[in-house]
Protein backbone atom coordinates (compact mmCIF):
# COMPACT_ATOMS: atom_id res chain seq x y z
CA UNK A 1 0.00 0.00 0.00
CA UNK A 2 1.35 3.37 -1.05
CA UNK A 3 1.26 6.26 1.37
CA UNK A 4 0.21 9.73 0.17
CA UNK A 5 1.90 12.71 1.72
CA UNK A 6 -0.04 14.40 4.46
CA UNK A 7 -2.56 16.91 3.06
CA UNK A 8 -2.40 15.58 -0.52
CA UNK A 9 -6.14 14.76 -0.53
CA UNK A 10 -7.00 18.51 -0.29
CA UNK A 11 -4.19 20.27 -2.07
CA UNK A 12 -4.12 24.05 -1.74
CA UNK A 13 -4.23 25.96 -5.07
CA UNK A 14 -0.98 27.62 -5.95
CA UNK A 15 -0.71 31.27 -4.82
CA UNK A 16 -0.93 32.50 -8.43
CA UNK A 17 -4.20 30.65 -9.04
CA UNK A 18 -5.67 31.99 -5.79
CA UNK A 19 -4.79 35.57 -6.72
CA UNK A 20 -6.31 35.22 -10.20
CA UNK A 21 -9.49 33.73 -8.76
CA UNK A 22 -9.70 36.57 -6.25
CA UNK A 23 -9.22 39.15 -9.00
CA UNK A 24 -12.00 37.59 -11.09
CA UNK A 25 -14.40 37.58 -8.15
CA UNK A 26 -13.60 41.22 -7.35
CA UNK A 27 -13.98 42.19 -11.01
CA UNK A 28 -17.38 40.49 -11.26
CA UNK A 29 -18.58 42.18 -8.08
CA UNK A 30 -17.31 45.53 -9.30
CA UNK A 31 -19.16 45.09 -12.61
CA UNK A 32 -22.40 44.27 -10.83
CA UNK A 33 -22.06 47.26 -8.54
CA UNK A 34 -21.39 49.56 -11.53
CA UNK A 35 -24.43 48.17 -13.37
CA UNK A 36 -26.77 48.77 -10.43
CA UNK A 37 -25.38 52.27 -9.83
CA UNK A 38 -25.87 53.29 -13.49
CA UNK A 39 -29.18 51.52 -14.10
CA UNK A 40 -30.90 52.30 -10.83
CA UNK A 41 -29.31 55.53 -9.62
CA UNK A 42 -27.60 57.63 -12.31
CA UNK A 43 -30.02 57.21 -15.25
CA UNK A 44 -33.23 57.63 -13.21
CA UNK A 45 -31.84 60.75 -11.54
CA UNK A 46 -30.77 62.15 -14.92
CA UNK A 47 -34.24 61.65 -16.38
CA UNK A 48 -36.08 62.98 -13.35
CA UNK A 49 -34.33 66.21 -14.23
CA UNK A 50 -36.39 66.53 -17.41
CA UNK A 51 -39.58 65.30 -15.81
CA UNK A 52 -39.42 67.26 -12.56
CA UNK A 53 -36.54 69.71 -12.62
CA UNK A 54 -36.91 71.33 -16.05
CA UNK A 55 -38.52 74.59 -14.99
CA UNK A 56 -40.77 74.77 -18.05
CA UNK A 57 -42.56 71.57 -17.02
CA UNK A 58 -43.67 73.07 -13.73
CA UNK A 59 -47.30 73.97 -14.39
CA UNK A 60 -46.91 73.43 -18.15
CA UNK A 61 -50.13 73.88 -20.16
CA UNK A 62 -51.97 70.72 -21.14
CA UNK A 63 -53.97 72.14 -24.05
CA UNK A 64 -53.40 74.80 -26.69
CA UNK A 65 -56.07 77.46 -27.25
CA UNK A 66 -57.37 79.47 -30.17
CA UNK A 67 -56.99 83.25 -30.28
CA UNK A 68 -60.51 83.56 -28.84
CA UNK A 69 -59.69 81.21 -25.95
CA UNK A 70 -61.44 78.08 -27.23
CA UNK A 71 -59.59 74.88 -26.17
CA UNK A 72 -57.54 73.53 -29.08
CA UNK A 73 -55.31 70.50 -29.57
CA UNK A 74 -53.88 68.62 -26.57
CA UNK A 75 -50.17 68.88 -25.76
CA UNK A 76 -48.71 65.40 -26.25
CA UNK A 77 -45.02 65.93 -27.03
CA UNK A 78 -42.01 67.77 -25.64
CA UNK A 79 -38.60 68.28 -27.19
CA UNK A 80 -35.52 69.34 -25.20
CA UNK A 81 -33.33 70.93 -27.87
CA UNK A 82 -32.14 74.08 -29.56
CA UNK A 83 -34.12 75.41 -32.52
CA UNK A 84 -31.37 74.29 -34.91
CA UNK A 85 -31.43 70.76 -33.48
CA UNK A 86 -35.19 70.58 -33.99
CA UNK A 87 -34.98 71.71 -37.62
CA UNK A 88 -32.20 69.25 -38.45
CA UNK A 89 -33.91 66.36 -36.63
CA UNK A 90 -37.34 66.84 -38.20
CA UNK A 91 -35.95 67.46 -41.69
CA UNK A 92 -33.98 64.21 -41.35
CA UNK A 93 -37.25 62.54 -40.32
CA UNK A 94 -38.89 63.84 -43.53
CA UNK A 95 -41.01 66.51 -41.86
CA UNK A 96 -41.31 69.86 -43.64
CA UNK A 97 -41.62 73.36 -42.10
CA UNK A 98 -45.09 74.82 -42.61
CA UNK A 99 -45.48 78.13 -44.40
CA UNK A 100 -46.80 81.18 -42.59
CA UNK A 101 -50.43 82.06 -43.23
CA UNK A 102 -50.51 84.72 -45.95
CA UNK A 103 -52.87 85.51 -48.82
CA UNK A 104 -50.59 83.62 -51.18
CA UNK A 105 -50.33 80.53 -48.95
CA UNK A 106 -54.09 80.58 -48.32
CA UNK A 107 -54.75 80.59 -52.07
CA UNK A 108 -52.22 77.79 -52.54
CA UNK A 109 -53.82 75.56 -49.92
CA UNK A 110 -57.26 76.22 -51.41
CA UNK A 111 -55.95 75.31 -54.86
CA UNK A 112 -54.25 72.21 -53.45
CA UNK A 113 -57.50 71.05 -51.87
CA UNK A 114 -59.78 71.76 -54.83
CA UNK A 115 -57.49 70.66 -57.65
CA UNK A 116 -55.58 67.94 -55.73
CA UNK A 117 -52.22 69.66 -56.11
CA UNK A 118 -49.28 68.87 -53.85
CA UNK A 119 -48.47 71.43 -51.12
CA UNK A 120 -46.02 69.78 -48.71
CA UNK A 121 -45.47 72.91 -46.59
CA UNK A 122 -49.04 74.18 -46.39
CA UNK A 123 -49.68 76.56 -43.47
CA UNK A 124 -51.38 75.61 -40.22
CA UNK A 125 -53.74 77.78 -38.22
CA UNK A 126 -52.46 79.56 -35.12
CA UNK A 127 -52.92 78.07 -31.66
CA UNK A 128 -51.62 79.57 -28.42
CA UNK A 129 -49.59 78.22 -25.48
CA UNK A 130 -47.87 80.36 -22.84
CA UNK A 131 -49.67 83.37 -24.34
CA UNK A 132 -48.16 83.20 -27.83
CA UNK A 133 -48.83 81.33 -31.07
CA UNK A 134 -46.68 78.43 -32.19
CA UNK A 135 -43.00 79.15 -32.81
CA UNK A 136 -42.54 76.24 -35.21
CA UNK A 137 -44.82 74.00 -37.24
CA UNK A 138 -43.97 70.93 -39.32
CA UNK A 139 -45.97 68.54 -41.45
CA UNK A 140 -45.95 65.44 -43.63
CA UNK A 141 -48.44 65.30 -46.51
CA UNK A 142 -50.49 62.18 -47.18
CA UNK A 143 -51.78 61.77 -50.72
CA UNK A 144 -51.73 64.31 -53.51
CA UNK A 145 -53.08 67.42 -51.77
CA UNK A 146 -53.22 69.27 -48.46
CA UNK A 147 -56.44 67.70 -47.18
CA UNK A 148 -54.72 64.86 -45.30
CA UNK A 149 -51.47 65.42 -43.45
CA UNK A 150 -49.54 64.73 -40.28
CA UNK A 151 -48.70 67.98 -38.53
CA UNK A 152 -47.30 69.31 -35.29
CA UNK A 153 -46.99 72.74 -33.67
CA UNK A 154 -44.26 73.64 -31.17
CA UNK A 155 -44.13 76.40 -28.55
CA UNK A 156 -40.79 77.40 -27.02
CA UNK A 157 -40.49 77.86 -23.27
CA UNK A 158 -38.78 80.97 -21.91
CA UNK A 159 -37.17 78.97 -19.12
CA UNK A 160 -34.09 76.86 -19.78
CA UNK A 161 -32.74 73.72 -18.15
CA UNK A 162 -29.32 73.36 -16.54
CA UNK A 163 -27.73 72.89 -19.98
CA UNK A 164 -29.28 76.10 -21.29
CA UNK A 165 -31.84 74.31 -23.49
CA UNK A 166 -35.54 75.19 -23.69
CA UNK A 167 -38.45 72.80 -23.67
CA UNK A 168 -40.61 72.88 -26.80
CA UNK A 169 -44.16 71.75 -26.07
CA UNK A 170 -45.82 70.16 -29.08
CA UNK A 171 -49.33 69.24 -30.21
CA UNK A 172 -49.27 66.54 -32.90
CA UNK A 173 -52.45 65.63 -34.78
CA UNK A 174 -53.52 64.14 -38.12
CA UNK A 175 -55.71 66.14 -40.50
CA UNK A 176 -58.29 63.89 -42.15
CA UNK A 177 -60.19 66.35 -44.35
CA UNK A 178 -61.14 69.98 -44.91
CA UNK A 179 -64.55 71.12 -43.73
CA UNK A 180 -66.42 73.63 -41.59
CA UNK A 181 -65.53 74.13 -37.93
CA UNK A 182 -68.17 72.75 -35.58
CA UNK A 183 -67.62 75.73 -33.26
CA UNK A 184 -67.15 78.76 -35.55
CA UNK A 185 -68.36 77.65 -38.99
CA UNK A 186 -65.02 78.65 -40.54
CA UNK A 187 -63.21 76.49 -43.10
CA UNK A 188 -60.71 74.30 -41.26
CA UNK A 189 -59.03 70.91 -41.15
CA UNK A 190 -60.70 68.17 -39.12
CA UNK A 191 -58.44 65.89 -37.08
CA UNK A 192 -58.38 62.19 -36.29
CA UNK A 193 -59.40 61.43 -32.69
CA UNK A 194 -56.30 59.23 -32.20
CA UNK A 195 -53.78 61.90 -31.20
CA UNK A 196 -51.52 59.34 -29.48
CA UNK A 197 -50.65 57.74 -32.83
CA UNK A 198 -49.35 61.08 -34.09
CA UNK A 199 -47.23 61.58 -30.97
CA UNK A 200 -45.81 58.08 -31.35
CA UNK A 201 -45.13 58.60 -35.06
CA UNK A 202 -42.97 61.66 -34.46
CA UNK A 203 -40.98 59.84 -31.78
CA UNK A 204 -40.49 56.89 -34.17
CA UNK A 205 -39.48 59.18 -37.06
CA UNK A 206 -36.92 60.98 -34.90
CA UNK A 207 -35.52 57.65 -33.73
CA UNK A 208 -35.29 56.44 -37.33
CA UNK A 209 -33.37 59.62 -38.20
CA UNK A 210 -30.92 58.96 -35.36
CA UNK A 211 -31.88 62.18 -33.59
CA UNK A 212 -33.06 60.78 -30.24
CA UNK A 213 -30.81 60.51 -27.21
CA UNK A 214 -33.50 59.57 -24.69
CA UNK A 215 -37.30 59.43 -24.42
CA UNK A 216 -39.08 59.93 -21.11
CA UNK A 217 -42.79 59.12 -20.86
CA UNK A 218 -44.61 61.19 -18.26
CA UNK A 219 -47.64 59.29 -17.06
CA UNK A 220 -50.81 61.16 -16.15
CA UNK A 221 -49.87 64.40 -17.89
CA UNK A 222 -53.52 64.63 -18.97
CA UNK A 223 -56.06 63.84 -16.30
CA UNK A 224 -58.89 64.15 -18.82
CA UNK A 225 -58.44 61.59 -21.60
CA UNK A 226 -61.26 62.80 -23.85
CA UNK A 227 -61.93 66.24 -25.25
CA UNK A 228 -62.66 68.38 -28.29
CA UNK A 229 -60.33 70.74 -30.14
CA UNK A 230 -61.01 74.25 -31.41
CA UNK A 231 -62.87 72.93 -34.45
CA UNK A 232 -65.12 70.79 -32.29
CA UNK A 233 -63.43 67.53 -33.28
CA UNK A 234 -63.33 64.86 -30.53
CA UNK A 235 -60.03 63.28 -29.50
CA UNK A 236 -58.85 60.61 -27.09
CA UNK A 237 -55.46 60.20 -25.38
CA UNK A 238 -53.81 57.82 -22.94
CA UNK A 239 -52.69 60.91 -21.02
CA UNK A 240 -48.93 60.48 -21.57
CA UNK A 241 -46.45 63.18 -22.55
CA UNK A 242 -43.39 62.05 -24.51
CA UNK A 243 -40.33 64.15 -23.64
CA UNK A 244 -37.56 63.65 -26.18
CA UNK A 245 -33.97 64.70 -25.62
CA UNK A 246 -32.85 65.54 -29.16
CA UNK A 247 -29.29 64.93 -30.28
CA UNK A 248 -27.28 67.11 -32.65
CA UNK A 249 -27.26 66.07 -36.30
CA UNK A 250 -24.87 67.38 -38.94
CA UNK A 251 -26.48 69.64 -41.52
CA UNK A 252 -27.45 67.61 -44.57
CA UNK A 253 -28.25 69.30 -47.90
CA UNK A 254 -30.30 66.25 -48.92
CA UNK A 255 -32.35 66.31 -45.72
CA UNK A 256 -32.98 70.04 -45.98
CA UNK A 257 -33.94 70.13 -49.68
CA UNK A 258 -35.58 66.78 -50.45
CA UNK A 259 -39.33 67.10 -50.86
Tens digit of pLDDT for each residue in 16-58? Answer: 666 777 777 777 777 777 766 655 656 555 555 555 557 899 9
Instruction: Tell me which of 253 and 189 has the higher pLDDT.
Output: 189
Mean pLDDT of 236-245: 96
Mean pLDDT of 105-128: 54
Q: How confident is the model at residue 116 (pLDDT cuts 50, 70, 90)?
A: very low
Among 141, 146, 143, which Cα is nearest to 114's? 146
What's the confidence (pLDDT) of residue 103?
Answer: 44
Q: Coil, strand or helix: which one is 172? A: strand
What's the confidence (pLDDT) of residue 23?
Answer: 73
Instruction: Say if residues 242 and 80 touch (Cβ distance below 8 Å).
Output: no
List the strands of the sheet with 63-65, edge to edge: 71-74, 63-65, 128-129, 132-133
Q: How far apart are CA 163 and CA 165, in angstroms?
A: 6
Instruction: Say if residues 147 and 128 touch (Cβ distance below 8 Å).
Output: no
Query: Is 0.75 topped by the overall pTM?
Result: no
Count the residues in the chain.
259
Q: What is the pLDDT of residues 122-149, one digit of tens each?
A: 556 789 999 999 999 999 988 665 567 8
Q: What is the pLDDT of residues 85-105, one digit of tens each?
A: 999 999 999 999 985 544 444
Q: How far apart are CA 240 and CA 139, in angstroms?
A: 22
**198 class by beta-carbon count within 10 Å (0-12 exposed, 13-18 middle, 19+ buried):** buried
Average pLDDT, the chain: 77
What's the confidence (pLDDT) of residue 156?
Answer: 97
Amino acid sequence: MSHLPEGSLNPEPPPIRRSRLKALVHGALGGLILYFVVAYLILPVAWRRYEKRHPALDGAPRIAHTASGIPGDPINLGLVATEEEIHLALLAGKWFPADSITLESSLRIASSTVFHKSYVDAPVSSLYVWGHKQDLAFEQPVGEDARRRHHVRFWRSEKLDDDGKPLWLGAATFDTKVGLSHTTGEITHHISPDVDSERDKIVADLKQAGAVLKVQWIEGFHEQHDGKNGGGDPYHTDGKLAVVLVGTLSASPRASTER
